Structure 1
Amino acid sequence: MAEIELTGVSKAFGDTQALEGVSLTVPDGAFVVLLGPTGAGKTTTLRLIAGLERPDRGEIRIAGRSVIGDTPAQRNVAMVFQQYSLYPHMTVRENLAFPLRSPILRTPEARIDRKIVEVAEVLRISHKLDNKATALSGGEMQRVSIGRALVRDPAAHLMDEPLSSLDAKLRAELRIELKRIQASLGATLLYVTHDQVEAMTMATHVGVLDHGRLVQFGSPREIYEDPVSLYVAGRLGLPRINALPAGLWAGAPAGAAVIGLRPEHIAHDHGPQAQVIRVERLGDQTRLHLALEGHALVTLADPHTALEPGDVLPVAPRNPLYFDAAGARIA
């Protein structure tokens, strides 16, 4: 495994600036998630590291060595795409073996057989090795796609929203599996998603991208509790952070235009009265959708609350986050 380092990396496609001055270090053995909406620059970052695109400016190093002049094959990274990218006429065994039979790797057949057995066991698809790819479920196909990257023992794994095309149940299962696999292998993994649940549950580090710029990098907890902007605060947390006028409650610092309140950071024992608009009972928790002086907000209540639409309850900030008119954090 190896550290990946980007220094001042920029990339434009015509008049569109995809990345602007991105500096980022993916530590050896870390699980780093790049988070942001469509167009933020996440996939471009992966493609630049993989060598599928060349930066206009900046430096890219893998294991301390510049790879700007290297071909994708010479960079020794493995990329998993959103789509399964399997050979349908081949068996699972043949799909897993294919990258190892590359003329560049020249892997002995005995080692190929051993690696296939090892990776199949890690991915729990040993019983599917002789099945054709077309006979697999969506989740199994994505496991094989991930396995094609794992068999190579690359310096780093790059994954571009590999779970986004799966249904919710499979995504939840494979999130757990992927984190288990990464931890067991000690692999350096850079993972792209717009799914905040994936970022919170899998990452050791999260990088938030906004229009091609890296705006914050840290642990999921750090990003969640100490965001540098309202934009970053909105990237993590479900339900999303409530953004309300700072003047709704007393005590806002000078320059504050917006108060950010996580749903769990709203007290119900004092403050102005809000009206219950909708009640979501989710078993382990209840979400209350409220209206306060014409502003919508979501808060959490006891799972057994008797509140119903039309009821009122007091609301007050607890551990609020403040932002200026441009969305920048005010300490």
Structure 2
Amino acid sequence: MAEVVLESISKSFGNLKAVDDISMTIPNGAFVVLLGPTGAGKTTTLRLISGLEKLDSGTVRIGGRDVGIDTPAQRDVAMVFQQYSLYPHMTVRENLSFPLRSPILKTPEDEIARKVSEVSEILQIPHKLNNKATELSGGEMQRVSIGRALVRDPQIFLMDEPLSSLDAKLRADLRVELKRIQADLGSTLLYVTHDQVEAMTMATHIGVLEEGRLVQYGTPRDIYENPRSVYVASRLGLPRINILPSNLFGGDHKGAQIGLRPENIMEGEGSDARVIRAEHLGDQTRLHLDLNGHTVVTLIDVHQDYPAGQKIKIRPHNPLYFDASGARVA
């Protein structure tokens, strides 16, 4: 595995600046997630690292080596795509061993057998090795797709929303599995998603992208607690952060807008709010409030019950402040 360094990389498609002067370091053995909505530049960044797209400017270094003129095969990276990309006429064993039989790797047959057996155990599919790909469930096909990358032992794994087409339970199960596998192997992994839950639960580092620019890079906890802007603050957290005019609350405030995570709203004193509805979700209850025409979502004890229309008082606790443009105010 290797450290990957991006130095001022950029890529345009016509008039569209898909990646705009991104610099970041993916540490050796890290699980880095690129987070952002569709069109933020996540997949293009991945493709620039892999060599599937050519840089307009900047440098990609893998293991200290400039790979700008290298082909994707020469870069020694392994990609997992959103779609399974399996050979349907092949068995699971044949699909897993296929990358190892490339002219570049020239892996001996005994080594192929060992790696396929090892990866199938890690992915918990050894009993499926002789099944055709078409005989597998969606989750099993995605495990095989991930396994085709794992057998490679590359410099870095590049994964482009590999879990997005799966159902919610399977997605949650594979998140845990993927993080466990990465930790066990000590591999360097760059993962692209628009799903904040995937980012928060798996990443050692998160890079938040906005319109091709890297707007913040750090640990999940740092980005959650110390976002640089309203945009970044809104990317993480469920329910989403409440962004409100700061003059809704009495007293002096540091910025034009106040950001309140649901857990940072205290009840019992402060400004009057009216209950719109309560969402009982088992392990938590979300309370939707109206505060002078602004919707506020907070969390309450699951055993509490507030009927619609009831008035309660709320106040900020450890709020975040932003100026009128959305930039963080210290």
Structure 2 portions without partners, runs of 5+: none
- Name 2:293's counterpart in structure 1: 294
Q: Secondary structure at the match of 2:270?
A: coil
Q: How far is the alpha carbon of 1:166 from its aligned partner?
A: 0.3
Give the whole-Å Cα distance in 1 for the aligned partners of 2:275 and 2:42.
39
**Matched residue of 1:40: which SS?**
coil
What amino acid is aligned across from residue 258 of structure 2 in structure 1?
I
**How far has the Cα of 1:251 moved from its partner?**
4.0
Name the CA distance, whole Å, in 2 between partners of 1:138 and 1:89: 16
Contact kept, 8 Å, 1:80 with 1:149, in 2: the verdict is yes
Equivalent residue number for residue 178 of structure 2: 178
Instruction: Provide the rounded CA distance (Å) in 2 between the counterparts of 1:64 and 1:264.
Output: 43
- Equivalences for 1:181-200 in 2 at 5 Å? 181-200=181-200
Aligned-partner SS, 2:214? strand
Q: Deviation string for 1:112-165 (max 9, x for gaps)?
A: 000000000000001100000001010000000000000000000000000000
Aligned residue in 1 for 2:167: 167
The offset of 1:312, in angstroms, is 1.3
How far apart, in 2, do the equivalents of 1:170 and 1:108 lie? 35
Over 3 Å counting, the alpha-carbon distance change for 1:253 and 1:62 in structure 2 is same
Unpaired segments ≥5 residues, structure 1: none
SS of structure 2 residue aligned to 1:90: coil
Describe the shift of the 1:252–1:230 C-alpha distance in structure 2 as closer, same or farther (beyond 3 A).
farther
**Contact in 2 for aligned 1:32/1:203 (Cα 8 Å):** yes
Give CA-to-partner distance per residue, 1:224-256, whole Å, 9 cap, x none.
Answer: 0000000000000000000100111134445x1
Secondary structure of the 2:312 match is strand
| Distance (whole Å) between structure 1 residues aligned to residue 308 and residue 99 of structure 2 | 58
Task: Kindly indicate whether residue 50 of structure 2 is the aligned counterpart of residue 50 of structure 1.
Answer: yes
Aligned counterparts of 2:53 and 2:251: Cα–Cα separation in 1: 50
Which secondary structure state, in structure 1, belongs to the residue aligned with residue 53 of structure 2?
coil
Where 2:121 maps in the other structure, the secondary structure is helix
Deviation at 1:41, TM superposition (A): 0.3
Give the SS at the match of 2:240. Answer: coil
SS of equivalent to 2:47: helix
Residues 252/131 of structure 1: CA separation in 2 closer, same or farther (3 Å cut): farther
Q: For 1:1-331, what aligned pairs fall within 5 Å after superposition?
A: 1-254=1-254, 256-331=255-330
TM-score by length of 2: 0.99
How far apart, CA to CA, are the structure 2 residues paired with 1:306 and 1:225?
Answer: 29
Q: TM-score, normalised by structure 1?
A: 0.99
Q: Give the letter aligned to residue 292 of structure 2.
A: E
Q: Answer whether contact 1:252 1:322 (CA < 8 A) is retained.
A: no
Offset at 1:257?
1.4
